[in-house]
Each structure stands twice: as structure tokens, then as C-alpha cells.
Chains A and B, each alone.
Chain A
Amino acid sequence: MSNSPVTPTPPPARPLRVLAAMSGGVDSAVAAARAAEAGHDVVGVHLALSKNPSSYRTGARGCCTVEDSRDARRAADAIGIPFYVWDMAEEFDRDVVRDFVSEYAAGRTPNPCLRCNEKIKFAAVLDRAVALGFDAVCTGHHARLLGGVLHRSVDTAKDQSYVLAVLRPDQLARAMFPLGDVTKDEVRREAARRGLAVADKPDSHDVCFIADGDTAGFLGRRLGSAPGPVVDASGEVVGRHDGAYAYTVGQRRGLNLGGGTVDRRYVLSIEPVSNTVRVGPAEALDVDEITAERPVWSGGPAPSEPVRCQVQLRAHGEVHPCTARLDGGLLRIRLDAPARGVAAGQAAVLYDEATGTAVLGSGTISATRSARAEPASSPAM
């Protein structure tokens, strides 16, 4: 149940100084309103992430337009909190946009929202906020924090724990997600009830810094054309591509191999050094073992023994029962049953086995193996 704004809320045990990151969308506006209503001392901050903000939003894409900034400001006015704009364009370009491009160039499939949470919202912004005297950063993410542990939102369709699982315990300790116990529909109703003009604003989708949604075109402009071969499992050249970076493991559409309807081949791997895209049948996408780099363990003390749990391998993807173990600087995951279309660069996020809602840890997928002898996807590095 959502809190009604007319219901008096008891003051928090300790009012915090909270920086509410306000994108101009409905979620972050309601999150800020809830934090303020809970008795915290809230300041709204719109993060200007684009070096050349355009004036207007086009549909559900894009962000950081002048219009978004104004929407955020008007929401802050309605909530009755101070509002500022912080220029984070340089950090965003360096840590998110350029990382996105170089990850694709290396044959991986990055998740820029995750990177933004890791490097911008809960790093650059959080560090600056703490230095300026704030206790926490509040966002409109759909996720819950229970006893310092990240959990899925009650709205499983909108759940964003996957893109937050990269956060370390010290980052989570300063995070505030007031929307984890409500559904998106409830957030919209609550926004309308609170008189926030953004109540009906469309959800944002896709990659915010690619305004037209054409990721391949964006990468092409940054990385240039790099024609190369498309090969099958035997190494035979079966087609050409304009840049291996534009492909993702598991992709079938847009391969243009000329095989017609009988040809149901998928991208099995992207090999940046030889600029080769390898394709093959769906079965060859099956993987049983996943290695992930830069592991983060946030669901309790880091385990020394293998842990039974569930793993999610892409945003809004299904979960797979598995056994995971920390192995030095790596996270090794053995799936109970094969999974398909596992792309290096995506996060492997572990949830607890019993409820599937508590995040145990995560890592960035670096390599996968099939139980059959041949690797389904070679290590990307």
C-alpha cells in the first residue's frame, strides 16, 4: 500500500540530510516527496549529464533535456524542497558513455544504467553529497533496502535491483530507495494525488544518451566502419559485417546471412581482435558455467564456500538456479540447467535461493563455457 500524503507520518528516528536525484521523471519525483514526507531534510538535485542538452524530449527516449530539468524543478517546487542542477556531464561522458563504447569495441555488451549507478549516482554524486554534508542519496529506483540488503521491488515487472546490484555495501548504506514497496501504477497515482505534473510523463526506455534509439548508428559514429567476416562453427566465412562491435551474443535479427527461413543461426561470439562474428545454431548458445569479474558481495559476509542461489544474467531476464562461489577476484557460477544468450559485459546478479528477492552479489560476465567440450563464447579479453 502506498502512503497517502494526507496521512501524518511519524518523524524518522533520525532525520537525515538527503540528496534526492531528480531526473524530471515521475519515479524520482515521488521518491523525493516520500523522503521529504518521512521527515528528512531533502534537497533536490537534477544531474545534467549531457554536454549539449537538447530542448525537448522526444517520446520516451533521451534524458537531460532542458524540459526534464524544468520538470524536476517544478516537482521540487510542488514538494517544497530546494533544487539545484549539478553538472556531471564530464564524469558521465568519461565513466558511462566512453565506457559503453569501449565495452562494445571489446566485443562485450555493457549495461550503461548499471555503470551510471556504480560510477555516477552512487559514486561521484554520493561522494560529493557526503562531502557537502548529506547523509544519503535518494533515487526513484524500484528496489528495496531491508536491513542494508538490496531486495527486488514488490513490482517485479519494474524491478531495478539488477542495475543496482553492482553497489557495494558502503554505497548501499548511503542509498535510499523510497519506492520499493509500491508498483509503478501506484507511483503514478500517488504523483497525481500529490499534484506532481509529471504523473503522466512517459517512462524512459533505452539508452538515455542515444536519443534516437539507434545504438548501432551511435557506435558506428564513434567507432567507424570496420568490415569483417561472419563465420560459422567450422570457421567458414558465411557473411560480412560492418563492425563486430554492433553485435550481441544471442542476436539473430539483422545478420543478413542470406540463409532464408531455414537459416536459424545466432551470434555465438564476437571476437574483437580478429573482428570476427561467429554464428551457429541455438543449441550452441547454451552455457553452463559463467565467470564474472569484479565481484561485489553485498548480501552478507562474503562466503568462503559455494552458495546455492539464483542468477539473473540480463536486465529483466529470467533467473536460473545455480551454485556460485567466490574464487579470488572472480565469481564462478555453475548453472543447474543451461542458459542461452549470455553476453559478456552484462552483469550476473545473484539472488537468494529461498525467496529470490534478496541480492547476494554480482559481477560482470567475462567468460562462459558449455558443458560440452567447445566453449560457447570465448573469453572476451
Chain B
Amino acid sequence: MAYLDHAATTPMRAEAVAAMTAELNRLGNPSSLHAAGRAARRVVEEAREAVAEAVGARPGDVVFTSGGTEADNLAVKGLYWSRRAAEPARRRVLVGAAEHHAVLDAAHWLAEHEGAVVEELPVDRLGRTSPEVLAAAIERAPGEVAVVSVMWANNEIGTVQPVHELAAVARRHGVPFHTDAVQAVGRLPVDFAASGAAALSLTAHKLGGPVGIGALLLDRGIDPVPVLHGGGQERDVRSGTLPTALLAGFAAAVRLAVAERAEQARRLRALSAALLDGVRAAVPDAELNGDPEPGDAHRLPGNVHLSFPGCEGDALLMLLDAQGIACSTGSACSAGVTQASHVLLAMGADPDTARGSLRFSLGHGSTEAEVAELAAAIGPAVARARRAAAART
């Protein structure tokens, strides 16, 4: 067994499981006023403080959500609505071309249903959006921009964006800047206050916490229009009973992930290099996508995204899966049908190359033995997948 898909989801930390399990036995709605409610509320607020401390935010900045997708939707739609309400001319939504679908599709939904004008900011061949590109885009009609969203680090190819510079450009024009940091928190140094971003998405299950809980960090004075209406539990911006146990697990995981981050990143960079060497020894023409530089400003530690010329990624994935090796084609699917990755296409890859790519992602618990398993299996798998692709034409 080699689990090389930590970017999809990573195992829960034992501490997170313990914290959650303890809370599952506790009765109490954190919004209730009695003793049971107060006890649950205390867990919620401690989790809020833990998350805030881990990512350089104030506790009051933290709006808990069901995860990264909800946080992204709330940021993109909510900030568009609030900015447009304040200034009706602000209808431009600028998003990176390589964003996660939670951002891209939310933006395009606004274009289809809410009169937004969506512009995708181009990325270079490493998958990066430069501050100059953003500045030029804003300056075409600065008074009409409602919101900008560019991710901290790309989930497919691992490229780190110049978030601080991008946020500064947006701030200079008085435009709220949102960043999807779902892949970044726990893997890169993330400091919300220092980043200059107005809003930041993160999620628990990418850093050793449970699936189903995440947060949108909102700077003071940044008030998106709600997507979910109801009890207004989270700053009147997000409604829904807060899941105490999930929050306890989130808090335990984010504390550990951030505390161990630097050491973990060093370890994962070494493992990633070994993985790349192992694959290239078997498949010399495998091409690394994204930024080849390993630093914090360049590439997520633990991400190795490769194109295998002449292969179809889904055939390769199936062959590796049959040998107990889990990886990802890194692309969205509809009815289980994989589409060519919009990220690679945005970087200028041709559709065949995009379809012939796999993402290997490492995380806590990844071992040299898993990397060696892949190195041993990839050569024959690629040879087979190439024969299958040749049979198809």
C-alpha cells in the first residue's frame, strides 16, 4: 500500500481523533444558554482561538464553515454581493485561471445569474499569476472590481502564488482580496495578518483534521453577504449549528500541523525529490509540472505532478491502483469521466499532455518505502498505459 494522495485528503492525526472522540460524547448546542451549551461553546471558542493562532489571525476573524468549498463560495459570492451593494458599478470578479472549481465555478455562477463580469487572470507556464498581471487587470477599470481571488498554492501542480504581492496590489486599489489557502495551511508558512489578504479559506481534512469543517478568515470590516441564512451563528455571516466535535478535531490538527510544519516540510521535500528521482529513473521522459524550485515561495512540499507522454492518466491511475498505489489525475470529473485539467490547460499544456498527467502528493506519515513502491511500479505501468493509448488511436 502506498497512499500518495495526501492533497485529496490526509489521514487524521491521532490527537485529532482523540479530541473529536471525546467531544462526540458531550451533549450541548454551543448556541444554548445553559451549562451544557456553555461547555460546548467553550470548545468552539477554544477551537477558534487555536485556528486563529495557528494562521496569524484574530479569533474574531474566524468564520467556521463546512469546509473549503463553502468558504470559497462565501468569499467569492458574498464579497461580490456586498461590494456590488455598496457600489453598483463593482461587477468585475477577477479570479486566477488555475483556481479550484470552488472558486472558478462560484465566479462563473455569478456571471450567469448575478450580472458579474468574470475575468480569469492568466498564469504563466509554471502556473503562477504575477502581480503585474493582476495590476493590469484591475487598472483596466479599477472602480468596477468587486473582488479578487487567487489561491495561495495550487492543489494540482503545487505552485505557490506571490500572495503577499497580489494582496498588496488589490489593497492599493481598495479591492478585497481572497485567497484559497486550503493546500497551504500546515505546509507553508501562512500568516493571515501579514499576508494582506482580506479573506482566506482553509479546511481541516487537508491538515490531519476531520472532513466537514473549515473556516473563512475575514479581516475586520470585511463582511460578505451570507450564502446560508438561518441562526446567524457565525458573525451573522454563516448560519448552522456549530459541530463541536469537528471543531475540537480541527483545532488539535491545525495546532500540530503548524507546530510541525517546518520540520515536516523539510522531510517532505526530501521525499518528493526521491519520488521524482525514482520515477525519472524508470521513465526518463516524465515531465515535472509546476515550479521545479523547492522553496516555500515556489512549490508545496510533498507535491510531485508529472506528465507521462503517450499515456492516459486514468489508465495509469488504474494500473497503479491495482498494485495498491493511490494517486490522482488531479482533475475534476463529471459522472466519473475525467476531463483534461483546466490548470494544465491554463499553463499552456496541450490536451493530450494534460490528460496524461498524475499528481503524487505526500504528507505526514508518508514513507520512503511508499516512494520506493511507486518507483518500482511506475515503469511497467507507463509501458502498459502507452500500449493502451497507442491501441486507441
Do the two chains bind?
yes
Q: Which residues from chain A sit less than 8 Å from chain B, CB to CB?
A: 43, 46, 48, 53, 64-66, 69, 73, 82, 84-87, 89, 124, 127-128, 130-133
- Shortest Cβ distance from B333 into A: residue: A85
* A128 touches which of B333, B336, B338, B391 (Cβ 8 Å): B391
Are B384 and A133 neighbours in the complex by a CB distance under 8 Å? yes
State the Cβ distance, B120 to closest chain A Cβ, in Å: 23
- Contact indicator A131/B391 (Cβ below 8 Å): yes
Give the interface size bracket for B toward A: 10 to 19
The answer to whether A85 touches B336, judged by C-beta atoms less than 8 angstroms apart, is: yes
Besides A128-B391, A131-B387, 7 more A-B contacts (Cβ < 8 Å) are A43-B318, A53-B337, A69-B335, A127-B392, A128-B315, A130-B391, A132-B315
Within 8 A of A (CB), among B320-349: 321-322, 333-338
| Segment 371-390 of B: residues with Cβ below 8 Å from A | 384-385, 387-388, 390
Contact A124 B336 (CB under 8 A): no
Which of A65, A82, A133 has most chain B Cβ within 10 Å? A133
List A contacts of B318 (CB < 8 A): 43, 82, 84, 132
Bound CA–CA A288/B167 (angstroms): 82
Can you show 17 pairs from A to B with CB atoms below 8 A apart?
A: A46-B336, A48-B335, A53-B337, A66-B335, A84-B314, A84-B318, A84-B336, A85-B336, A87-B314, A87-B338, A124-B392, A127-B391, A128-B392, A131-B388, A131-B390, A131-B391, A132-B384
Is A132 a contact of B335 with CB atoms below 8 Å?
no
**Residues from chain A with Cβ under 8 Å of B321 in the complex:** 82
B319 at interface (Cβ–Cβ under 8 A)?
Answer: yes
Residues of B within 8 A of A133 (CB): 319, 384
Q: How far is the CA of A64 from the CA of B314 in the complex (A)?
A: 19
Majority-rule SS of A interface residues: mixed
Contact call B384/A131, Cβ cutoff below 8 A: yes
Residues in A with CB closer than 8 Å to B387 are 131-132
| Smallest CB gap from A130: residue in B | B391
Q: Closest Cβ of chain A: how far from B317's Cβ, in Å?
A: 8
In the A-B complex, the 8 residue pairs with the smallest Cβ-Cβ separation, listed nearest first, are A85-B336, A131-B388, A131-B387, A127-B391, A87-B337, A131-B391, A48-B337, A66-B335
Q: Which residues in B have their C-beta under 8 angstroms from that of A43?
A: 318, 322
Q: Which residue among A53, A82, A127, A128 has the maximum number of chain B CB atoms within 10 Å of its CB? A: A128
Kindly state the separation between the CA atoms of A74 and B147 in the bound complex, as whole angstroms.
42
A46–B315 CA distance with the chains assembled, in angstroms: 14
Q: Once the chains are docked, how many angstroms separate the CA of A82 from the CA of B337? A: 16
Taken together as a complex, chains A and B put the C-alpha atoms of A85 and B333 apart, in Å, by 10
**CA separation between A85 and B391, bound complex, in Å?**
18
- Which residue from chain A places its CB closest to the CB of B312 in the assembled complex? A128
By a CB distance below 8 angstroms, the chain B residues around A132 are 315, 318-319, 384-385, 387-388
Residue pair B336, A69 in contact (C-beta under 8 Å): yes
Determine the residue in chain B with the shortest Cβ distance to A87.
Answer: B337
Residues of A within 8 A of B337 (CB): 48, 53, 85, 87, 89
Overall SS of chain B's interface: helix
A131 to B392, CA, bound (A): 10
Known contacts A128-B391, A132-B315: A48-B336 contact under CB 8 Å: yes
Which of B319, B333, B335, B385 neighbours the largest number of chain A CB atoms within 10 Å of its CB? B335
Docked complex Cα distance between A84 and B338 (Å) = 11
A130–B315 alpha-carbon span in the complex (Å)? 12
Chain B residues with CB below 8 A from A66, complex form: 334-335
Closest to B390 in A: A131
CB nearest to A134 among chain B residues: B388
Q: Which residues of A contact B315 (CB under 8 A)?
A: 128, 132
- The answer to whether A82 and B335 touch (CB under 8 A), given A124-B392, A128-B391, A132-B385, is no
Determine the distance from Cα of A86 to Cα of B312 in the docked complex, in whole angstroms.
11
Q: How far is the CA of A16 from the CA of B345 in the complex (A)?
A: 39
Q: How many Å lie between the Cα of A101 and that of B104 in the bound state?
A: 38
Bound CA span A60–B318, Å: 32
A111 to B315, CA, bound (A): 30
Contact A86:B335 (CB < 8 A) given known A131-B391, A132-B385: no
* Cα separation A96 to B333 with both chains bound (whole Å): 24
A72 to B, closest residue via Cβ: B336
Q: Distance (Å) between the CB of B358 and the closest chain A CB?
A: 15
Smallest CB gap from A82: residue in B: B321
Docked pose: A94 CA to B351 CA in angstroms: 19
Contact with A along B256-294 (1 / 0, CB 8 A): 000000000000000000000000000000000000000
Residues of A within 8 A of B392 (CB): 124, 127-128
Residue with the highest number of chain B CB atoms closer than 10 Å, among A43, A131, A132:
A132
Q: In the complex, what residues of B have CB within 8 A of residue A124's CB?
A: 392
Interface centre among B322, B338, B391 (most CB of A within 10 A): B391
B43 vs chain A, min Cβ distance (A): 36
Bound complex: CA A302 to CA B321 (Å): 43
Which residues of B sit under 8 angstroms from A130, Cβ to Cβ? 391
Residue of B nearest to A64 (CB): B335
**How far, in angstroms, from A82 to B317 measured CA to CA in the complex?**
12
Interface centre among B318, B384, B390 (most CB of A within 10 A): B318
Task: Given A132-B315, A132-B318, A132-B319, check contact A85 B335 (CB 8 Å).
Answer: yes
CB of A72, distance to nearest CB on chain B (Å): 9
The distance in angstroms between the C-alpha atoms of A53 and B314, with both chains bound, is 19
Q: What is the distance, in angstroms, from B345's C-beta to the closest C-beta of chain A? A: 17
B336 nearest CB across to chain A (Å):
3
A65 to B337, CA, bound (A): 12
Q: Is the CB of B314 within 8 A of A86?
A: yes
Query: Smallest distance from the beta carbon of A338 to chain B beta carbons, Å?
Result: 45
How far does the Cβ of B391 sit from chain A's closest Cβ, in whole Å? 4
For B336, list chain A residues within 8 Å (CB).
Answer: 46, 48, 69, 73, 84-85
Closest to B318 in A: A84
Contacts of B384 in A (CB 8 A): 131-133
Query: How far does the alpha carbon of A130 sit from the alpha carbon of B336 in the complex, in Å?
Result: 22
A87, B319: Cα distance in complex, Å: 16
Return A81 CB to nearest CB of chain B, in Å: 11
CA distance A218 to B330 in the complex (A): 37
Separation of A89 and B335 alpha carbons in the complex (Å): 12
Cα of A133 to Cα of B377 in the assembled complex, Å? 14
Residue of B nearest to A52 (CB): B334
Q: Is the CB of A53 within 8 A of B338?
A: no
The interface centre, meaning the residue of B336, B387, B388, B390 with most chain A CB atoms within 10 A of its CB, is B336
Report how far A64 CA is from B385 CA in the complex, Å: 25
Name the CB-closest residue of A to B355: A87
